[in-house]
Amino acid sequence: MATPPFGPARPTDFLANERTFLAYIRTALAVMAFGFVIARFGLFLRAFPDGTKSSPPLSSEHLGLAFAIFGCLLAIFGSWRYYATSRDLLEDRFHTARAANVIVGIATTILGIAVVLSLLQLL
């Protein structure tokens, strides 16, 4: 059996994979908490009527829910990447998840733009 170009996996490779997984989980929890804060901020704003009766097309509750869902999906993605990387390390292989990482980046950008648009409605 030929040795892969990057050599056999070392314990530090597995520990790095675990640190990356924990970073995904921390980020997912922060995104979910941010979604909760956004949703509750909308309820806070409704407590002070400003004379308008129309609801904005992008409400804080919907935006907060989108962030909470995105946080859950991010936790699932992080778990999947942890498992896949661990399996690859055990089999002396390594594959990147470039396409999946780009999708996560695009989703984060879209949610960020939605927050900016929501904040612009407050002006």
> Which DSSP category does 56 fall into?
P
Q: Quick one: pLDDT at residue 1?
A: 47
What average pLDDT does the structure give for the chain? 82
- Provide the percentage of residues in the chain whose pLDDT is more than 90: 28
C-alpha distances (whole Å) from 24 to each of 32, 53, 75, 80, 95 are: 12, 40, 6, 11, 18
Q: Are 4 and 92 in contact (CB under 8 A)?
A: yes
Query: Residue 26 — pLDDT band, cuts 50, 70, 90?
Result: very high
Q: How confident is the model at residue 74 (pLDDT cuts 50, 70, 90)?
A: very high
pLDDT of residue 50: 63
**Rounded average pLDDT over 89-112:** 86
40-68 residues labelled b (16+ CB within 10 A) or e (exposed) = ebbeeeeeeeeeeeeeeeebbbbbbebbb
Name the pLDDT band for 64 (thresholds 50, 70, 90): confident
30, 31, 27: which is closest to 81 by C-alpha? 27
Determine the average pLDDT of the residues in 106-119: 85
Q: Note the pTM of the prediction, 2 decimals.
A: 0.74
